[in-house]
Amino acid sequence: MFYWLMKYVVVGPLLRAIFRPWVVGLENIPAEGAAILASNHLSFIDSVFLPIEVDRRVSFLAKSDYFTRRGLRGWATKAFMNATGQLPIDRSGGKASEASLNTGLAVLARGKILGIYPEGTRSPDGKLYRGRTGVARMILEAGVPVVPVAMVDTAKVMPIGRRLPKIGRIGIIVGKPLDFSRFDGMEGDRFILRSVTDEIMYELQRLGEQEYVDVYATTVKEKRATLSQ
């Protein structure tokens, strides 16, 4: 109830009025049944505007830090994350990665829509980076269609490091569903997982026309952090 109240009464109408998002291809999102929305990731607000524009509820996997911060600001952040349908996950790797996978699979098992960022983190510079294969494993294990989504200009409205968004118009391009049923039962093959992931990234690049860089965004961020020390 809280999610729908925020989406249709409190937050949604206000954000639509201020930022006037344009959307193309919403009809490509299945009206029922489980599906994955695989999106590029330019800004924190990607996880806000996409659920607002999709008629069905969208659950994103978000890092658990957002749900454990203290004080009034921490409470506000947690409330906001819950209101936008985001689920806490541990991104530390190992067993945590397995738990994240299971969290996503549980959403899909209920016939819901799961939002995923294949890059694993926000782009540090607006470019599209190499996708992580966890999304491919989830797709093949759940046997669900994946819908590519390109967020446009969200980094201009709220770049990394900015606490409040600037006024500007953002866009969302929803591509046609991708079917990977030809790889059923092959979720344990790392070459298949890489092939599926790369196909998704290719479609995201085609939709959003971002420059593609075949390295992980986290690698770029780590190098920049080292150089700045």
Tally the C-alpha atoms within 13 A of residue 21's C-alpha that lie toward its C-beta: 27
Concatenate the DSSP letters of all residues of 69-119 into one string: --HHHHHHHHHHHHHTTEEEE--SSTHHHHHHHHHHHHHHHTT-EEEE-TT
The amino acid at residue 164 is L
Q: By C-alpha distance, which of 181, 47, 32, 186 is closest to 110?
A: 32
Each residue's pLDDT tens digit, 113-154:
999 999 988 999 999 999 999 899 999 999 999 999 999 999
Each residue's pLDDT tens digit, 178-217:
999 999 999 999 999 999 999 999 999 999 999 999 999 9
For residue 64, give the DSSP letter. T
pTM of the model: 0.88
